[in-house]
Chain A
Amino acid sequence: MQKTLFDKIWDAHVVKQVNEGPDVLYIDRHLIHEVTSPVAFLGLKKRGLKVFCPEKTTATPDHNVPTVNQNQAIKDELSRHQVEMLKMNCIEHNIVYHALGTEGHGIVHIIGPEMGLTQPGMTIVCGDSHTSTHGAFGAIAFGIGTSEVEMVLASQCIMQPKPKKMRITITGKLNKGVTAKDIALYVISKISTSGGTGHFIEYAGSAITSLSMEGRMTLCNLSIESGARGGMVAPDETTFNYMKGREFAPQGNEWDKAVEKWKNLKSDENAVFDTEFTYDAADIEPMITYGTNPGMGIGISQTIPSTEGMEGSDKITYEKSLNYMGYNPGEKMAGKKVDFVFLGSCTNGRIEDFRQFSAFVKGKKKAPNVTAWLVPGSKQVENQIREEGLVEILEEAGFELRQPGCSACLAMNDDKIPEGKYSLSTSNRNFEGRQGPGARTLLASPLTAAAAAVTGVITDPRELLAP
């Protein structure tokens, strides 16, 4: 039988098919952080259980951590306690813990791939919906709840019904100034935030295979915003080149053997997907959101859609959203005021994002009305930014670099956007209050963020890019 990439990996990990129930799926890699793990550890304790496979579990605190003065104790008492709890749980259960300020620290979805923990063909879970990021390597990776974190800690398995399969093909070549983030926001604007529900996505086509690993991670990261549990890209030379030599990647002969095996990880030619969508890369322009869910995105040259044809709760929801944003149907997005710019998160906190942002602002100046928070996704990204001389470029243009963490993506630390302010953000969610109570989020790419950072208003980055 012809199988999809997803089928091949899933089927190889089924320990048992429960009668009329979900599959018992074996998990190769479990990533944990401070917010969704404490209750799971508490559950283990109540049951008198130990962690089943500590060596397949990796921990780091990311959601709560401050992005300045990380050498000092965390000021917020609850945050400090939660981080401390993670550390204690890791010590008790023999789990590798990458503490704040150490070389291995960072957002859990950034450090996994950096260390080579994320590998093709694996099943990877974490109590965080953006675990879908790791699918960029041709892995089945998805976010889970705390009960499921406890399941994996207790048994290295999870009970899951097998999702349906969707393929999204992007043909052709991306236009100048258009990035993986724009592809993702474009797709979600087409299929909506529930279009992917019940499915696992495979991304394919020339516009996808030409993406770097960083770009593929951004794209897979945002799969959850379409409602899909995860997204994946078949591994290829780009994948292998990225992985080679990383700390936990296979080494020497083992590497060659692994690559031979990984080369088979692709959908068979006649494999059938439950749902298919195909888009032309030429139709995608830099995207920006105007509402309060990631599906409310438009090309940056377009106007906010009218309510014509909407009725009932559709209309109520749409109007509530625009009201929250302080926008009206028919308005142009370009030229609207921006107060904050956030570069970072598991969506766009990787080195390529900082390279793009830095190259764009080089020789320009930050707009005086904009507060910019530039937050590397990991210590390794931060180091690389320094080694490549990007800090000098950024400082010259009036920007400063903060320290790694999830930061203003969900504002659990002090990086909160004030009420009513507009934040052009490279993160993943523009929900009401996501970046702080009353904050208004505009999702876009690092290039579009850079353009707004230097002009102070929403700006099409293509207007400022060198030809």
Chain B
Amino acid sequence: MSYDKFTIIQSPAVPLPIENVDTDQIIPARFLKAVERKGFGDNLFRDWRYNKDGSPKADFPLNNKKYSGKILVGGKNFGSGSSREHAAWAIYDYGFRVVVSSFFADIFKGNAINNGILPVVVTPGFLQKIFDEIEKDSNTLFEVNLEQQKFTILSTGENIYFEINPYKKHCLQNGLDDIDYLVEMKEQIKAFEVA
């Protein structure tokens, strides 16, 4: 899937201090009927975000005008449940490029990276600090530096190093995907099949 190359992002963040945010919440199953990848952002967190009549729920962070930005900050075990890549598509389509949590579910993490979204794992203590900073000032800026693998709270200068697989980092920085890599390997794969 093509996506924008990932470099450095400076942005405020949207807090979602809930644990075990599952992919059924990120994008409910009834919105998985599309056969193309577009428009999923409208239904991101649909049932948390909207009332039954379609009016926005005022207390949900995405509906709170004071929160904005390209960074979503979630509680631990973010993205658990279904393998639906639609969850990553919805997050990207809405405008997020980074999801921060103290823990991600495996499949979601892979899907995110495959779609140009950087999952940033921080310690539970640092996650709380981020929530606290947003609580203090919703416009506070954070910096995500992929090259240095560093997440910084700009107002305080506090920062944390995050892990990412070197190959995946290279892909994100250059907007590459695994399919190009695998298609190049066709002869080697054919040889493996015979062996």
Contacts and interface: CB of A to CB of B under 8 A. Distances in A.
A433 B25 CA distance: 8
Contact of A197 (B28, B103, B114, B188): B103
Given A21-B168, A47-B179, A412-B32, A227 B106 contact: yes
A36 B111 CA distance: 12
Given A293-B20, A429-B24, A159 B33 contact: no
Contacts of A18: 167, 181
A146 B111 CA distance: 8
B175 interface: no
B166 A313 contact: no
Nearest to B87: A145
B36 A147 contact: no
Nearest to B24: A431
Interface stretch (B6-14, B62-70, B74-82, B148-156): B74-82
A148 to B, nearest CB: 7
A419 B52 CA distance: 10
Given A129-B82, A129-B107, A146-B85, A79 B33 contact: yes
A150 B88 contact: no
B167 to A, nearest CB: 3
B103 A194 contact: yes
Nearest to A159: B178
Contact of B30 (A49, A161, A412): A412
B2 to A, nearest CB: 9
Contacts of B104: 197
A133 to B, nearest CB: 13
A21 B182 contact: no
A437 B17 contact: no
B35 A155 contact: no
B52 A147 contact: no
Contacts of B115: 147
Q: Considering residues B32, B80, B107, which has the most beta carbons from chain A within 10 angstroms of its beta carbon?
A: B80
Contacts of B47: 432-433, 437
Nearest to A416: B30
A328 interface: no
B36 A229 contact: no
A99 interface: no
Contacts of B105: 194, 197, 227
A411 B30 contact: yes
B81 A129 contact: yes
Nearest to A146: B85
Contact of A429 (B34, B81, B111): B81
Nearest to A314: B19
Given A316-B17, A434-B24, A147 B193 contact: no
A127 B182 contact: no
A26 B57 CA distance: 46
Contact of A26 (B114, B165, B192): B192
B101 to A, nearest CB: 11
Interface of A: 15-16, 18-22, 24, 26, 35-36, 38-39, 42-43, 47, 49, 52, 63-64, 76, 78-79, 81-82, 85, 127-129, 143-148, 150-151, 154-159, 161, 163, 193-194, 197-198, 227, 229, 293, 312-314, 316-317, 320, 410-412, 419, 429, 431-434, 437
Given A145-B114, A411-B30, A431-B24, 6 more contacts: A35-B84, A38-B35, A42-B35, A227-B77, A412-B33, A437-B47
18 contacts: A16-B188, A20-B167, A39-B36, A47-B183, A63-B29, A129-B107, A148-B110, A148-B114, A154-B179, A157-B189, A159-B181, A194-B105, A227-B77, A293-B22, A313-B19, A313-B75, A412-B32, A429-B22
Interface of B: 1, 17-20, 22, 24-25, 28-30, 32-37, 47, 52, 75-77, 80-86, 88, 103-107, 110-111, 114-115, 128, 165-168, 177-179, 181-183, 185-186, 188-189, 192-193
